[in-house]
Amino acid sequence: MWFIAAEDIITAYARSTAAAWLTGHGLAEKYAISYAAAYRLKKQLLDDLSNPSGLIGPSICVRNVPLPPNAESSETYLNAWLIEQMMTMRRR
């Protein structure tokens, strides 16, 4: 359940639904555990995922995306560049 919950938390943050979905009661219902256990699970996973020396966070394989030098100059430019990078990665 630990890795499934970690995946659900990462997905919720990626979809910007973390505030609505990642509640103690929501996790308790989804995993059929007590509220107290769900709260502890969420707290421990969030701490672990944000800690570079944690157990779960470092085991997730992600590549850092090097941003172009002028990334802060224009939000529109950055969005277009990110979409182009995603499309390039999908073609590989």
The pLDDT, as a whole number, for residue 36 is 95
Helix ranges restricted to H, 15-34: 18-21, 24-31
The pLDDT, as a whole number, for residue 39 is 92
pLDDT per residue, tens digit, the chain (92 aa), is 888 888 888 888 777 777 777 888 888 999 999 999 999 999 999 888 888 788 887 777 666 667 777 766 677 877 888 888 778 877 76
Q: Token pair for residue 60? A: 């997730």
Count the Cβ atoms, other than its own, within 10 Å of residue 27: 21
Q: Token pair for residue 3? A: 């890795």
- Determine the Cα–Cα distance for residues 44 and 55; give it in Å rounded to an integer: 11
The pLDDT, as a whole number, for residue 65 is 64
The pLDDT, as a whole number, for residue 86 is 79
Hey, is 92 helix, strand or coil? coil
